[in-house]
Amino acid sequence: MSHQPLAGAVALVTGASSGIGAATARRLAREGASVALVARRRDRLDQVAVDIAKLGGHAAVLATDITEPAHAEEAVEDTLNRFGRLDILVNNAGIMLLDSALHTTIEKWDRMVSLNVSALLHITHAAVPHLIYAASTSPRQVADLVNVSSTAGRVARPGSSVYNLTKFGLNGFTESLRQELIAENVRVSAVEPGSVDTELVHRLSHDTRAAALRQIDEMHPLRPDDVADAIGYIITRDRWVAVNHMVVRPSDETW
């Protein structure tokens, strides 16, 4: 059997029902981690859990809405009850609803802030004490918190003002948290994917979706597995190596 650098570690992945989250959960399981799968769609989570079992790994399905603070706390507690510890948190859950300020609705803006920001804060706040404990007790001597941001956290474009707001803010939050947790041996990182072929694009309004798909058709978009590989690379570094910020774009993306 090949060496598994995350053997004995426990990871919690949000937005694990599809796309980058599902790919990341499978990647971490291949590296030896037990994985708590958090999202709202139980049927999709069940399938990811089956995939992980076929790899010889272990997964727990936690179908819940972490935009509710109590549910986020319960997700962390359920992970601890199932696996006994928490070494890795991957904050991947998010939504992208693009449109101009003139044509969008306040409900769409609120949905993005609720999932992209509030839910991430809820789960992070609940997880941090346990990540600190894991770093002090783990053979790895380190814990990891990875936030999935976006190139929209560095490049603002028309029609994505509030999505930009959530991702620019996430990058600032990540850097501040990184500095806070250095002394606790908890590494904090942000991954910024460019265009990825995921369900996010297909949830846009008709006209916006058509424009986004035309952009994707003009390039070779990333696969979710490409981003999962970046996340896996960050987490599996030796404890004295911190990859705190990684931008992963399609090679032919110009922005």
Helices and strands, counts by H and E, the chain = 9, 7
Work out the pLDDT band at 255, boundaries 50, 70, 90.
Answer: confident
Instruction: Provide, rounded to the nearest whole percent, the portion of the chain with pLDDT above 70.
Output: 91
94 is a domain residue:
yes
3-state secondary structure of 41: coil
**What is the span of the domain harbouring residue 54?**
10-246
What's the pLDDT score for residue 1?
35
- Name the helix (H) or strand (E) containing 34: strand 34-39
**pLDDT tens figures, 93-145:** 999 999 999 999 999 999 999 999 999 999 999 999 999 999 999 999 999 99
95 is a domain residue:
yes
The CA-atom distances, in angstroms, between 70 and each of 96, 115, 126, 141, 214 are: 24, 14, 10, 30, 40
**Residue 95 tokens, joined:** 């939504």
2 is a domain residue:
no
Q: Which of 134, 163, 173, 188 is catalytic?
A: 163
* 181-187 mean pLDDT: 98
What's the pLDDT score for residue 254?
81
| CATH code of 44's domain | 3.40.50.720
The CA-atom distances, in angstroms, between 195 and each of 67, 206, 219, 221, 247 are: 25, 18, 9, 5, 11
252 is a domain residue:
no
Chain mean pLDDT for the chain: 93
3 is a domain residue:
no
Catalytic annotation on 133? no
